[in-house]
Amino acid sequence: MESTCQSMAEHIKRQAEKAEPLIKKGFEKLRSFLEEEEKKLLNNLKKEEEKKTKLVEEKKDSMGKKIKSLSSKIKTIKKEMEEMEPITFLREFEDVLKRALGDTEEEAEDLSGCLIDMPKHVGNLTFEIWRSMRNICPYSPVLLNPNTSCSLTVLSDDLTTVENTYGRLNLPSNPERISCVLGSEPVIDYHYVWEVQVNAHKYWDIGVIKAKKVEGANLWSRVTCLRSRSEQFSSTARHSIEVAGTSTPLTLDEPPETVRVELDQEEGTLSFYDGKSKLLHALEHDFTEDVLPFFDSYHQKEPVKFLPIDPWISLDPCAYMLMV
Q: Among residues 137, 256, 271, 139, which one has the least CA distance to residue 193?
A: 271
Are residues 52 and 116 in contact, defined by beta-carbon separation less than 8 angstroms? yes
pLDDT in tens, 197-244: 998 888 899 999 887 765 544 454 567 899 898 876 667 888 999 887
Distance, in Å, from the CA atom of 272 to the CA atom of 56, rounded to the nearest integer, reads 63
Strand partners of residue 208? 224, 293
pLDDT in tens, 73-101: 788 778 877 877 777 777 777 777 776 66
pLDDT in tens, 301-323: 788 999 998 776 666 666 555 55
- The residue type of 100 is A
What pLDDT, on the 0 to 100 scale, is given for residue 254? 86
Q: In the CATH hierarchy, which fold is given to the domain comprising 153-306?
A: Jelly Rolls (2.60.120)
DSSP, residue by residue, 247-288: EEEE--SS--SEEEEEEETTTTEEEEEETT--EEEEEE----
Distance, in Å, from the CA atom of 187 to the CA atom of 202, rounded to the nearest integer, reads 26
**Using DSSP, how many helices (H) and how many strands (E) does the chain show?**
5, 15
Distance, in Å, from the CA atom of 255 to the CA atom of 253, rounded to the nearest integer, reads 7
User: Which ranges constitute the DSSP H helices of 111-259?
Assistant: 118-122, 125-132
